[in-house]
Chains A and B, each alone.
Chain A
Amino acid sequence: MEEKDIPKVEHPNDAIARVSLAATCGSDLHLYHGMMPDTRVGMTFGHEFVGTVHEVGSSGQNLKPGDRVMVPFNIFCGSCYFCARGLYSNCHNVNANATAVGGIYGYSHTCGGYDGGQSEYVRVPFADVGPSLIPEWMDEEDAVLLTDAVATGYFGAQLGDISEGDTVVVFGAGPVGLFAAKSSWLMGAGRVVIDAVGAEADGNLTQHVTSSQLKLQGGSPVALNWAIDSVRKGGTVSVMGAYGPMFSAVKFGDAVNKGLTLRMNQCPVKRQWPRLFEHVRNGYLKPSDIVTHRIPLEHIAEGYHMFSAKLDGIIKPLIVPSAS
């Protein structure tokens, strides 16, 4: 663990937040294993966090110090062509390093080079746009899961265009997969099958070596190919997750011949919140049920090793502030 200075306001609409709870996400392991290009030594990980406002830049209107906020993993401006249409994850004004992907906290320079929230303080750009006040009645642990995992699972189900009685198969039984399954019920699925792809989805030994050591594969195509195989003709495959910018051996021919609709995006988290807040309030979703571990910030190295090696039944670890 390294000490860094408390981040500063760098743009008039920035805020600085003091992190009260963060989470690690399965996609952080892609960074941890060096699979995501332009992950620089010294940057801070963490795109799922909640906290209190510590400082607000000169053009900030909506937040004041002391406010309890939840911050969606997307960084977005609110005013570009894409933001205007609710495509917050595709914002064009926040990622200097790439145009295909938007800005994400703590997710390499490919996603903008912003420090993340697995720390004590974090810079929150466009503070009038991204964060929301945590509703009085909402648990902080529920709130932190709404910043990515729950919203992404819901979005995955949404892109599946589920109609009443449809059969849905979810590949992957991590937090996002479980919330996708739950959301499929809310959208009227008749049957939901969950396949715990686990590490099988990183494929055979050759694939494991080429991806983990040679970094030649960005995101395993194995689970995606299973999805293409399993869906009926004319069906829809919805893809959530961190796919690297480069080569993936996808069964594109089968997708064409079966007439599939492939839908995918990073979740525009904040667009989902009003509806998801209702669902949490009504008890249809209980995000924090999925939390398995609470790891103090000073033990984050052990936390990452456990998460990566799947020790101790770990599914969703939260990072809690250091005792000191």
Chain B
Amino acid sequence: MPYTADKPQPKETSEQLRARIPGWGVDLDPKDRPSVPRERRDRPTGAHWEFPERQEEKVPRERSIEHKFLTPVFGTSTPPAGVSGTLRRFAYRYSEGRAAHWLILLAADRVNAWEAHLGSFVSLHPDNPITETGVLSEFSGHGVRSRFGKKRADLAHQWIDPALVAGPWILAGAAVVAIARNLRRHKA
């Protein structure tokens, strides 16, 4: 920036830019930008209600305590269930302004993932880490060529990813083996 009041001269003039870039400046006037002015209330939205009808609450629906009541429409993709569900319901006792709310939810997500893994092993359809993680696309999607000779900055820490992904599984497996051994020793 120069130490004087004028804007620095752009490298190309507006005429040059207009000639070179299709549409250059068509929205230059702020009036042509769809958010101006911000307090407009004349947009037709398609809503034919003052306040929407209420969606039926078929199972108790958790909600943020920042809401006065359950919103008239809500998602019902996956009601809380199991241990993670208990954790989640507990998290919704805290305001979304509190870290506790979010930290419990994040913990519940990890628990939920393990519930699903363990659940799959007692089902007819156990998780398959080869086909279900999509890792086979390393072969079809040029895994090696996509990474090397590309100056990809993330490669600096990618070496640790297999350990980050597989680590908890290996630790859990070791724990199971250790517990089993212990039990056998106690029986003997």
Chain A residues near B (Cβ < 8 Å): 10-13, 34, 37-44, 59, 61-62, 75, 77-79, 83-86, 92-100, 103, 109-110, 112-115, 125-126, 128-129, 155, 158, 161, 163-165, 167, 183, 185-188, 190-191, 198-200, 202, 204-205, 208-209, 212-213, 215, 232, 244-247, 268, 271-272, 274-275, 279, 282-285, 300-306, 309-314
Q: What size tier do the contact residues of chain B reach?
A: 35 or more
Does B152 count as interface, using CB distance less than 8 angstroms? Answer: yes
Q: Which chain A residue lies CB-closest to B135?
A: A305
**B71 close to A96 (CB less than 8 A):** yes
CB distance from B119 to the nearest CB of A (A): 9
Top 9 A-B pairs, shortest CB-CB distance: A199-B154, A78-B47, A284-B23, A305-B134, A113-B75, A190-B10, A78-B45, A311-B141, A114-B75
Q: With A79-B45, A97-B62, A215-B106 given, is the CB distance from A274 to B137 under 8 Å?
A: no
Residue ranges of B at the interface with A (Cβ–Cβ < 8 Å) = 1, 7, 10-12, 14, 17, 21-28, 30, 32-35, 38-41, 43, 45-53, 55-56, 61-64, 66-67, 70-78, 80, 84, 88, 91-92, 96, 99, 102-103, 105-106, 108-110, 112-113, 115-116, 131-138, 140-143, 146, 152-154, 156-157, 160-161, 164
Known A113-B76, A275-B34, A301-B131; contact A84-B88, beta-carbon cutoff 8 A: no
Indicate if the CB atoms of B109 and A39 lie closer than 8 Å.
yes
Instruction: List 7 other contacts, CB 8 Å, given A34-B109, A93-B71.
Output: A79-B45, A112-B75, A165-B10, A190-B11, A190-B17, A212-B164, A300-B134
Given contacts A186-B26, A199-B154, A279-B26, contact A83 B137 (CB under 8 A): no
Q: Which of B46, B63, B153, B164 contacts A97 (CB 8 A)?
A: B63
- Say how far A160's CB is from chain B's closest CB, in angstroms: 11
Q: Quick one: which of B46, B115, B146, B153 contacts A62, CB cutoff 8 A?
A: B46
A75-B72 Cα distance, complex, nearest whole Å: 12
A-B contact pairs, 27 of them (CB 8 A): A11-B72, A38-B91, A41-B113, A42-B77, A77-B72, A79-B45, A93-B72, A96-B67, A112-B74, A126-B47, A129-B46, A158-B33, A198-B152, A199-B154, A200-B153, A209-B160, A212-B161, A232-B1, A244-B102, A282-B22, A285-B23, A301-B132, A302-B136, A305-B134, A309-B141, A311-B146, A314-B141
A190 and B17 alpha carbons, distance in the complex (Å) = 8
- A187 engages B33 (CB within 8 Å): yes
**Residue pair A83, B146 in contact (C-beta under 8 Å):** no
List chain B residues, Cβ under 8 A from A99: 64, 66-67, 96
B46 touches A78 (CB 8 A): yes
- Contact at A191–B134, with CB atoms within 8 Å? no
Q: Is the CB of B73 within 8 A of A77?
A: yes
Contact B23 A185 (CB under 8 A): yes
- Residues on the A chain within 8 Å of B135, using CB: 305
Task: State the Cβ distance, B84 to closest chain A Cβ, in Å.
Answer: 8
Would you give the shortest CB distance from A129 to chain B, in whole angstroms?
4
Contact of A77 among B17, B52, B64, B142 (CB under 8 A): B52
**In the complex, A246 Cα to B88 Cα: how many Å?**
17
Q: Is the CB of B28 within 8 A of A279?
A: no
Q: Which residues of A contact B56 (CB under 8 A)?
A: 10
Residues A114 and B77 in contact, CB atoms below 8 Å apart: yes
Residues of B within 8 A of A304 (CB): 134
Give Cα distance in the complex from A206 to B28, angstroms.
43
Residue of B14, B21, B24, B152 touching A310 (CB-CB under 8 A)? B152
Nearest residue (CB) in A for B41 is A84
B10 engages A97 (CB within 8 Å): no
Known contacts A93-B71, A186-B26; A311 and B142 CB within 8 A of each other = yes
Q: State A311–B27 Cα separation when bound (angstroms).
A: 36
* In the complex, chain B residues whose CB is within 8 Å of the CB of A199: 152-154
Are B23 and A282 in contact (CB-based, < 8 A)? yes
Nearest Cβ distance between residue B150 and chain A, in whole angstroms? 9
With a cutoff of 8 Å between Cβ atoms, the chain A residues found around residue B113 in the complex are 34, 41
Residues in A neighbouring B47, C-beta threshold 8 A: 77-79, 83, 126, 128-129
Asked if residues B34 and A274 are in contact (CB atoms below 8 Å), the reply is yes
